[in-house]
């Protein structure tokens, strides 16, 4: 889809399901909006991935609802404050109810619930509409809300009798008793939630520190190892891969000394050997640890006929939060060289959201760090897709300083992203 004005009518050029280029028009009131380009971009984002028939039908409903509300309020731009958005939502809600174009009640309800309301929620998710604006669901008269604890009653119905017997239910998170008041429940819930939140925050911080410690260690090793251990690296390059050990007291069945034993110079159970192993994986394998591919780069993949495990590589930093049995060796090597898995990304996003509760994970994923007056900031543009903590709230940009952990995480993500991009460019040449 692409915004276009054709014969004085605003609208979108699109390609239909049959591959033919067509034009879907918008209300002419669109041209009266000063920020029509922003609204057009939001339309395009919302319609992304939808079939052309669905898009055309949806735009017609926008013409009959959203633009009617804008024209009724005589506004020339989207609201910039809570009061303006509340008035627009209220007016747009009433448009399907009083419109002459629809006769069926179900059609009027669907026009709001299935067309305009999802778009308004879409705007709210992208911080265009403030989060405190209520976008209600339209219900038909007599419709029962699922799982509702309320029931409509007739005026004059006899008042319910007060229950004085203390009934208690204990097989729930918080014991339920008719003798307890709301304040007691809330205090207990608050305590349990704080305790659970603190435990989660502590676990996520330890997970992040483990990732960062492994990464910093590997980056330092890749830079310092050739300088501090040139002879060991030279032996590896020249194919001199083994140290030999001879013990005269180690006798065979015939009473003669056994042949000398050999040990690979990159044996992970020794400090220097494990450092050489990690350096070769980083330089020859792009940091990707595949135990079956190690012999191809002249590295051992077994210790005494057993595969190398996470505990065998002695140079790796301690995990500090989890048993090494639950974090395999390839996962720890991924941390060392900046390859994050889905679980890693999920933990970092969760930690960022806990440290910055005002910002959504979508915004945090698109974060860009800037420095203003020596302070790290994030900014968010009008569409809410490139984030950077001048967060767009309806009336203007609101600044907020980043804490040290959030800044460290975001800069780490940008650093590994740039390194991987450069590696891809080198490999493609």
pLDDT in tens, 237-285: 998 888 887 776 777 677 777 777 888 888 888 889 889 999 999 888 8
- pLDDT score at 207: 93
Residue 426 has pLDDT above 50, yes or no: yes
Which pLDDT score, from 0 to 100, does residue 203 have?
92
Instruction: Using pLDDT thresholds of 50, 70 and 90, give the confidence band for residue 417.
Output: confident
Q: How confident is the model at residue 335 (pLDDT cuts 50, 70, 90)?
A: very high
Q: 5-9, 196-200, 385-389: which has the minimum mean pLDDT?
A: 385-389
Token pair recorded at residue 296: 């191809």
Q: What is the pLDDT confidence band of residue 381, given thresholds at 50, 70 and 90?
A: very low
Average pLDDT, the chain: 79
Q: Is residue 284 part of a domain?
A: yes
Same domain, 266 and 372: no
Are both 324 and 354 inside the same structural domain? no
Q: How many residues in the chain?
A: 429
The pLDDT, as a whole number, for residue 387 is 38
Q: Looking at the structure, do residues 335 and 346 belong to the same domain, yes or no?
A: no
Same domain? For 62 and 24 the reply is yes
Helices (H), strands (E): how many in the chain? 13, 13
Burial of 386 (0-12, 13-18, 19+ CB in 10 A): middle
Residue 176 has pLDDT above 80, yes or no: no
Same domain? For 316 and 365 the reply is no
- pLDDT of residue 65 exceeding 70: yes
Q: Which residue has the higher pLDDT, 396 or 367?
A: 367
Residue 61 domain-assigned? yes
Closest CA to 136 of 89, 172, 83: 89
- How would you classify residue 24: left for phi > 0, otherwise alpha for psi between -120 and 50, otherwise beta? beta
Out of 277, 304, 339, pick the residue that ends a domain. 339
- Report helix, strand or coil for 5: strand
User: What is the pairing mode between strands 369-372 and 375-378?
Assistant: antiparallel
Q: What are phi and psi of 384, to 5 degrees?
A: 70, 30
Check pLDDT > 60 for residue 376: no
Q: Are residues 205 and 303 in the same domain?
A: yes
Cβ–Cβ contacts within 10 Å for residue 153, how many?
A: 9
pLDDT at 150 over 70: no
Rounded Cα–Cα distance for residues 418 and 94 (Å)? 50
Dump pLDDT digits (tens) for 67-76. 888 888 888 8
Q: Is 119 helix (H, G, I), strand (E, B) or coil?
A: helix
Q: How confident is the model at residue 382 (pLDDT cuts 50, 70, 90)?
A: very low
Lowest mean per-residue pLDDT among 119-123, 237-241, 381-385, 405-409 = 381-385
In the predicted structure, residue 152 carries a pLDDT above the cut 50: no
- pTM, two decimals, is 0.52
Q: Which of 289, 312, 339 is the last residue of a domain?
A: 339
State residue 337's pLDDT score. Answer: 92
Looking at the structure, do residues 218 and 229 belong to the same domain, yes or no?
A: yes
Residue 215 has pLDDT above 70, yes or no: yes
Q: pLDDT category, 219, cuts 50, 70, 90? A: very high
Whether 118 maps to a domain, the answer reads yes
**What residues contact residue 29 under an 8 Å CB cut-off, 6+ apart?**
67, 70, 71
- pLDDT value at 397 more than 50: no
d(CA 118, CA 121): 5
pLDDT at position 201: 92
Please state the domain count of the chain. 3
* Pair of tokens at residue 190: 């608050």
Which domain, by its residues, includes 21? 2-125
Cα 348 from Cα 404, distance rounded (Å): 14
* Within-domain flag for 359: yes
Q: Which two tokens stand for residue 174?
A: 């918080």
Q: Are 78 and 206 contained in the same domain? A: no
Residue 108 has pLDDT above 90, yes or no: no
Residue 287: Cβ within 10 Å count: 20
Q: Two tokens at 318?
A: 């301690």
Residue 173 lies in a domain: no
Same domain, 272 and 305: yes
Same domain, 66 and 120: yes
Domain co-membership, 118 together with 54: yes
Q: Is residue 168 part of a domain?
A: no
Is the pLDDT at 380 greater than 50? The verdict is: no
Above pLDDT 70, what percent of the chain?
76
In this prediction, what percent of the chain has a pLDDT beyond 90?
A: 14
Residue with the larger pLDDT of the pair 178 and 114: 114
> What's the rounded Cα separation, in Å, for the pair 389 and 402?
8
């Amino acid at each position: 889809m692409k915004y276009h004005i054709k014969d004085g009518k605003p609208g979108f050029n699109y390609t239909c399901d049959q591959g033919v280029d067509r034009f879907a028009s918008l209300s002419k009131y669109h041209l009266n909006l000063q920020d029509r380009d922003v609204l057009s971009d939001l339309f395009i984002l919302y319609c992304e991935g939808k079939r052309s028939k669905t898009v055309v039908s949806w735009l017609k409903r926008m013409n009959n609802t959203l633009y009617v509300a804008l024209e009724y309020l005589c506004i020339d731009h989207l609201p910039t404050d809570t009061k303006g958005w509340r008035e627009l939502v209220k007016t747009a809600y009433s448009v399907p109810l009083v419109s002459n174009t629809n006769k069926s009640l179900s059609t009027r309800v669907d026009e709001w619930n299935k067309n305009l309301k999802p778009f308004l929620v879409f705007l709210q998710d992208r911080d265009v509409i403030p989060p405190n604006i209520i976008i209600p669901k339209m219900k038909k008269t007599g419709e029962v809300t699922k799982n509702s604890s309320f029931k409509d009653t007739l005026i004059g119905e006899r008042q319910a009798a007060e229950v004085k017997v203390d009934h208690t239910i204990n097989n729930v998170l918080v014991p339920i008793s008719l003798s307890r008041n709301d304040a007691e429940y809330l205090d207990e819930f608050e305590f349990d939630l704080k305790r659970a939140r603190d435990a989660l925050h502590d676990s996520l911080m330890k997970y992040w520190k483990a990732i960062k410690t492994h990464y910093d260690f590997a980056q330092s090793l890749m830079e310092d190892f050739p300088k501090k251990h040139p002879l060991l690296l030279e032996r590896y390059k020249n194919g001199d891969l083994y140290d030999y050990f001879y013990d005269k007291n180690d006798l065979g069945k015939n009473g003669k000394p056994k042949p000398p034993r050999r040990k690979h110079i990159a044996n992970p159970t020794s400090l220097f050997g494990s450092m050489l192993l990690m350096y070769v994986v980083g330089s020859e394998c792009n940091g990707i640890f595949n135990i079956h591919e190690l012999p191809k780069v002249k590295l051992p993949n077994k210790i005494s006929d057993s595969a190398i495990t996470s505990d065998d590589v002695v140079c790796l930093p301690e995990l500090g939060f989890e048993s090494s049995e639950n974090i395999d060796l390839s996962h720890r090597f991924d941390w060392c060289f900046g390859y994050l898995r889905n679980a890693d990304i999920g933990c970092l996003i969760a930690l960022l959201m806990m440290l910055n509760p005002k910002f959504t994970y979508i915004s945090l994923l698109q974060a860009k760090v800037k420095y203003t007056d020596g302070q790290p900031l994030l900014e968010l543009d009008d569409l809410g897709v490139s984030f950077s903590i001048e967060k767009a709230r309806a009336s203007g940009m609101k600044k907020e300083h980043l804490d040290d952990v959030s800044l460290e995480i975001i800069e780490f993500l940008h650093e590994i992203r740039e390194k991987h991009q450069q590696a891809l460019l080198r490999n493609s040449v």
